[in-house]
């Protein structure tokens, strides 16, 4: 299963749309909020299943801020991250992942991409394809999920062949 993980599009998703057109074999889109409607639009355009949560700019209700998705026996927490202080530390979001017994936590909010493992939990932030911060590039993540694990890769969307090599 191959998943495009996208966050913080803020209504600017033409670059994402153009790059996804180049990629064949995408099974799912996860949108982690701040204009979750952009994810809904992309899923409709590409006829690909979507899971999404809302971010602080989406004005979410309590039941829209996180979701657990299970794929190939792997449990993944999807959240925007703003309620877990991810701009300052990762301990709070990691504790939430442990509490829920997930294999991975996918989050956004910082607009800065990162992949890290802590105590057998994968933390993934795909960054922002529209408004990157702290010198980062315009990125999304491509994640392969199978029974053996969760294998993320960050993609700089400004690289001409970013998805052709995926």
Residue 162 lies in a domain: no
- Residue 160: the pLDDT is 58
Cα distance between residue 57 and residue 66, in whole Å: 15
Residue 110 lies in a domain: yes
d(CA 130, CA 146) in angstroms, rounded, equals: 29
Separation between Cα atoms, residue 79 and residue 53, nearest integer Å: 6
Between CA 116 and CA 162 the distance in angstroms is 21
What are the pLDDT digits (tens) for 21-36?
A: 888 889 999 999 999 9
CATH of the domain at 23: 3.60.21.10
- % of the chain surpassing 70 pLDDT: 96
Domain count across the chain: 1
Q: Output the average pLDDT for the chain.
A: 92
Beta bridge partner(s), residue 6: 31
Q: Measured on CA atoms in the order 96, 98, 99, 102, is the torsion positive or negative?
A: positive
Closest by CA position to 82, among listed 136, 138, 7, 29: 7
Range of the domain at 88: 2-156
């Amino acid at each position: 299963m191959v998943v495009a993980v996208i966050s913080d599009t803020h209504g600017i998703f033409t670059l994402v749309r153009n790059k996804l057109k180049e990629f064949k074999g995408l099974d799912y889109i996860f949108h982690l909020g701040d204009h979750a409607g952009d994810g809904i639009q992309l899923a409709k355009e590409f006829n690909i299943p979507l899971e999404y949560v809302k971010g602080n700019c989406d004005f979410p209700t309590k039941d829209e801020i996180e979701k657990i998705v299970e794929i190939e026996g792997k449990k993944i927490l999807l959240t925007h991250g703003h309620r877990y202080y991810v701009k300052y530390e990762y301990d709070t979001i990691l504790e939430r992942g442990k509490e829920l017994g997930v294999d991975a936590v996918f989050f956004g909010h910082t607009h800065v991409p990162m992949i890290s493992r802590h105590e057998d939990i994968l933390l993934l932030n795909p960054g922002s394809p529209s408004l990157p911060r702290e010198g980062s590039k315009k990125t999304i993540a491509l994640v392969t999920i199978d029974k053996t694990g969760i294998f993320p890769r960050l993609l700089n969307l400004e690289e001409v062949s970013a998805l052709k090599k995926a």
